[in-house]
Structure 1
Amino acid sequence: MDKVMISVAPVAATDKNIIPEKIARDVIDCWRAGAAMVHLHVRDEHGNLTTDMSVLNKTLELIRKDSDIIIEVSTGGVSNLTIEERCVPLYSDLVEACSLNVGSTNLGKAVYCNPIDDVKYCVQEILKTGKTPEVEVFEIGHTYAMEELMAQYAFKEPVLFSIVLGHKGEAPPTPKALANMISMIPTNAVWGITHANRRDFGIVAAALGMGAKTVRIGFEDSNYLDENTMVETNLPLVEKTVRLLRAMDKAPMSADEARMYFNIK
């Protein structure tokens, strides 16, 4: 049976009250329901991106205490942090994987800056620390940039791309955009889908039908269960994703299955 990794990104960028115990409970419930990875950012108690790992460390310790979910922490996010500061989570022993952003893009009224020298610094630190990158590509040019980096650096295979659609100012969440983005994925890589500002599961379903090996779901991208229903925890989003997979004769990967498939150590 075809298996897919569900990744949960449980914290909205607009959340200004970061409570480790609440996040950990939500993540553990999602793991029990079928999520194999959690995606988090380094935030302080007020939700601001920071280099202070104390709040995140407490969250990760609580998550690890009661689950074996893969822990992925972002090296990105729109902020004034330097690339050195953004790479702080790479040095945590609790962190197994990380996001890798390989180009700049417009995100609404903000500009998400990732100049190539910063990208290469991040790549070098990822390789040095042995983390597994998930390459977030917002445009076709990002995919091409990563293919060039793959020719320069010894990445673990398979390299995982996450096709991100739906932010205002970047690639739209349409079948045509999805197909074009998929067409640029290198043959020695695998890919998944992140649909930002999602109101339904149509693009997620389309991506799964076209071969996505990961689905990212969670409040960082949207808290909509359907166009009329917003939920208060991430659990219903994961449960709906699991039902969608099973309806397509697929199944969610366990954390250990995902570690083996994506070469996460």
Structure 2
Amino acid sequence: MDKLIITVAPTGSVPTKKDTKYLPTNPDEIAETAYLCEQEGASVIHVHCRDENGLPTSDSHTFKETVDKIRKRTELLVMVSTSGVAGKSDEERAAPLSTNPDMASLTTGSLNFAGRKPSLVYINSWETVTYLAHKMQQLKIKPEMEAFDVGFIHQGIKLVQQELVEKPPLFQLVMGVDGGIPGTVDNLVHMIRQLPENSVYTVAGVGRFQQSMTSLTISVGGHVRVGLEDNIYLSKGQLAPNETFVAKTQCLAEIMGREIASSDDARRILGIKQKNRVPKRTT
């Protein structure tokens, strides 16, 4: 069983400072969170950025400032979001790829975000998916294929078959989004069984599903994502910062006898080479 890769998703596009005072939204706050989470065992950070009003943005300058500040303080693998929830164009969604990340999210299908008021449709046409996959391939960025349901996995397999995604493919199984697959044991096992041989997967349990999905994934050999993007409550009614979620995950892994992956371990497991252009750590 591989060492456990802990990805922290500290910001997302939905939570606000009104929801939790612990949410990092500007580049300095996100970089500080990255440093604290690395100390607790995280090896990957999944980055969303916000504008000066706290709204989601794909602005390349904001992403570059954030990525650079994370790299000045940590050795974390940096994954940028290419989310198009706000109705961005393909070019806007690809803008964060210009910041030289190690990884990037690639959602392989569309779904209704039914839990939002008003509800919205997260559209990822095949043309958009292949456009982003090709951009990532050109820039030697590892895609993390986001799967909100079973069909998303099979669209990801199609990308591998078309050689738009290199092996070993990496899947993120998102469990419990309202409009996606519910976060149950049976559903997670079914999702894992759909994955192609020799793929790597990580699991994000959303909201109340985070604890159960994290525990099960650690025990069966997968990797996990935690953080305020997915869940702001450490326990019922108890808000906590991102680093506390990472520390709790590290403790769970220790109890289960699973070693924690360093950033170098994560690179090896994910098949990501150190880029010559990556600035060296200075602090």
Following superposition, the deviation at residue 148 of structure 1 comes to 1.4
The residue number in structure 2 matching 1:70 is: 77
Q: Is the 8 A contact 2:64 2:96 kept in 1?
A: no
Trace 1:3-42 onto structure 2 (pairs within 5 A): 3-12=3-12, 13-15=14-16, 18-42=25-49
Following superposition, the deviation at residue 227 of structure 1 comes to 2.6
The DSSP-based 3-state class of the residue aligned with 1:192 is strand
Indicate the larger mover: 12-21 or 179-188: 12-21
Distance 1:101 1:115 in 2: 10
Amino acid in the other structure paired with 2:130? K
- Deviation digits for residues 15-61 of structure 1, max 9, x if unmatched? 36832222211110101111001101243222323342233322222
Pair 1:185–1:139, CA change in 2 (3 A): same
Query: Is 1:96 aligned with 2:106?
Result: no
- Deviation digits for residues 49-98 of structure 1, max 9, x if unmatched? 334223332222221112111110011141120112101111212x1100
The DSSP-based 3-state class of the residue aligned with 2:159 is helix
The residue number in structure 2 matching 1:79 is: 86
Distance 2:209 2:149 in 1: 21
Matched residues, number: 262
Query: Is 1:238 aligned with 2:239?
Result: no
Amino acid in the other structure paired with 1:218? G
Query: Is 1:106 aligned with 2:112?
Result: yes
The DSSP-based 3-state class of the residue aligned with 1:252 is coil
Q: Is the 8 A contact 1:42 1:53 kept in 2?
A: no
Distance 1:184 1:9 in 2: 25
Query: Is 1:116 aligned with 2:126?
Result: yes
Q: Is the 8 A contact 1:103 1:113 kept in 2?
A: yes
Q: Is the 8 A contact 1:166 1:172 kept in 2?
A: yes
The residue number in structure 2 matching 1:226 is: 235
Please, what is the CA RMSD of the aligned residues? 1.7
Structure 2: 5+ residue stretches without partners: 18-23, 274-283
The DSSP-based 3-state class of the residue aligned with 1:146 is helix
Identity of aligned residues (%): 34
Amino acid in the other structure paired with 1:249? G
Structure 1: 5+ residue stretches without partners: none
Following superposition, the deviation at residue 134 of structure 1 comes to 0.7
Distance 2:129 2:210 in 1: 33
TM-score by length of 1: 0.93
Query: Is 1:257 aligned with 2:265?
Result: yes
Amino acid in the other structure paired with 2:83? G
The DSSP-based 3-state class of the residue aligned with 1:191 is strand
Distance 1:23 1:92 in 2: 16
Q: Is the 8 A contact 1:2 1:249 kept in 2?
A: no
Distance 2:163 2:210 in 1: 38
The DSSP-based 3-state class of the residue aligned with 1:7 is strand
TM-score by length of 2: 0.87
